[in-house]
Structure 1
Amino acid sequence: MTDAGRDFHKPVRRATGELDRLFGAHDPADKTRAAHSTAAALLSRVRADPDSETVERLVTFTSTHGIDDIAELWSQAPARSLPGALWRLYLLQLMIHDDPHTAALLYERGRVEIASVDPVVAGAPVPAAPDELVALVDRIMRGAFAGDFAVALERAAAFCRVEASGATHVADDYEPTEPERASALTTRALRLSTYAGDLSASAGLWRRESLT
C-alpha cells in the first residue's frame, strides 16, 4: 500500500455507532470526556498490573479487531492528549503492518538522509528489513503499555521523523516522472512529521504529569 490516502487505513465510520447511543450524537463534549476517561482507565489499569497476555492483546488489538472500535473512542481527541497519543501509536503500527515493504524502503532512505539521532532513538536494525520494522513498532507498543510511556512516545516520534525524511526524498526522486506518486509521498511525509511533533509534545506532557 503506497497510496497516501491509505497510509493509515482510515476506518469507515458507522452512522449510528454504540458511542452515539451511549453519549449522544449531538454532544461532542461527552464523547471527548469518554475518550479521555477510557484512555486513562485502560493505561492505568494495564500499567498497574502489566500481565503479559493483556499487554499482548492490546498490542495485537487492531490485527484481531480492526481499527474501528479504537477510532470510535479516540480518533477525534486532541492530538496532544492521552487518547490522541494512543490513537497515533495505533495508526503508526497499522501503517507498518499494512505495508512493511514500503515502510522499510522509506525508513532506510530516511536513515541515510536525516541529520539527527532519530534512527538511534527509534532503535531499528541497520538496515531494517520489513519484518524487523513490524517487530520494532510492536515493541514500541509494548513499551507504551508496560514500560516508560514517554520513552515509547519519543521512539515513535523518532520513527515518524525518519519515515518522513525518507518519504520526502523518495518523493523528490519521483517528481520528474511520476508527479502523482510524488505528491502522495509528500502528503505522507507531512502527516508523519505532524504525528512526530504531536508524539514528542505528548511525551513532554506525560513527564510533567499533564497528559490527560
Structure 2
Amino acid sequence: MSDGTGSRGHHRPSLPGAGHFEAIETTEHDPAVLAEAAERAAFALVRGARDQADDELVGRVVHLADTEGLETLADLWSGAAPTSLAGVLWRLYLLRTWVYADPATAAREFDRGRALAPVAEAISGVEEPPGPDEVRVLVDSVLSGVVVGDFADTLFRASAFARVAAAGRAQEESVSGSSYSSDLSAARLLTLAEQLQQAARLELAGDLG
C-alpha cells in the first residue's frame, strides 16, 4: 500500500468527485468557463483512466450519478453537444438513471421491441430473457465501458439498447393508447439512440472531442 510519498511507479488517475463538482458550482456561471469544466471532467472520465482502471475505479464511474446526483451531472453536462464527450456522458447516465428508476418497464419495453429491431437487440447484449435484473446489468456494463474496453463499442451497445426500448415503447403506446409517466417519450428515446450511434461513429473515426 502506498504511503503517499510517491514511491509507486505510477499514480492513480484522478476522477472528478465531490470537490471537483463543488468547485464548479462555486465559480461564476460564465457559460464558457462551465463548458470548459464540463469537457475537462468528461475527458478525465473517458480518456484519463483507461490504462490504470481497476474494479474500484470502474465502480465509481458507473455509480457517479448516484454519488453526485443526476441534477449535478445535468448542470455540468446536459447542455453539451451530443457529439462531445460531455454530451455523450450525459446521455449514458440519463439512460442508466431511467433504467434504474423503472427496470420492470425498461425490461418490458425492451422485450416488446426485440422483434421490431432484431439487429439492435443482438448488439445491445442483454441477457436472455430480458428482465429487470438483466437490463440493470446491461446499463452498468455499458457504463463500465467508459473506462475499460472499447468506447465506440460502449456507445454502439447503449444506442442499440435505447433503440430497441424505443421501438417497444412506441409499440406499447400504440396498443394501449397511453404511455406511463416517464422522463423520456418514445421519440426522445429514439433520438437518444441516434445521437449515441452518431457519437460511436465519430469515436471510430477519432473525431469525438
Structure 1 and Structure 2 fold alike (TM over 0.5): yes
Aligned to 2:26: 21
CA displacement, residues 65-97 of structure 1 (integer Å, 9 cap, x when unaligned)? 321232222111111111100111011111111
| Aligned ranges 1:140-179 → 2 under 5 Å | 140-175=142-177, 179=178
Q: Give 1:131's aligned amino acid.
A: D
Pairing 1:111-122 to 2, within 5 Å after superposition = 111-112=114-115, 114-122=116-124
| Aligned with residue 198 of structure 1, among 195, 199, 204 | 195
Corresponding position of 1:9: none
Large movers: runs of 4+ above 4 Å: none
Measure how far apart 1:19 and its partner are: 2.9
Q: Distance in 2 between matches of 1:61 and 1:203?
A: 21
Match of 1:12 in 2: none
On the 8 A contact 2:117/2:167 being kept in 1, the answer is no
CA contact (8 A) 1:121 1:158 kept: yes
Cα contact 1:110–1:167 (8 A) shared by 2 = yes
Given the alignment of the two structures, is residue 62 of structure 1 paired with residue 65 of structure 2, yes or no? yes
* Aligned residue in 2 for 1:8: none
Q: 1:51 aligns to what?
A: 54
Residue 26 of structure 2 aligns to a residue whose secondary structure is helix
Number of residue pairs matched by the alignment: 188
RMSD of aligned residue pairs (Cα, Å):
2.0
Q: Which runs of 5+ in 1 are unaligned?
A: 1-16
- How far did residue 116 of structure 1 move? 4.0
Higher normalized helix content (fraction of residues): 1
Mapped to 2, the partners of 1:118 and 1:44 lie a distance apart of 27
- In the other structure, the counterpart of 2:9 is none
Say whether residues 1:105 and 2:108 are aligned partners.
yes
Contact 1:108–1:166 (CA under 8 A) maintained in structure 2 = yes
Aligned pair in 2 of structure 1 residues 117, 98: CA closer, same or farther (>3 Å)?
Answer: same
Of 128, 131, 137, 2:130 maps to 128
Alpha-carbon offset, residue 20 of structure 1 = 5.0
Give the Cα–Cα distance (whole angstroms) in 1 for the partners of residues 67 and 146 of structure 2.
Answer: 19
| Long gaps (5+) in structure 2 | 1-21
Contact 2:53–2:148 (CA<8 Å) still a contact in 1?
Answer: yes
Q: Does the 8 Å CA contact 1:19/1:72 hold for their aligned counterparts?
A: no
TM-score (norm 2): 0.83
Identity of aligned residues (%): 39
CA gap of 1:64–1:37, structure 2 versus 1, over 3 A, is closer
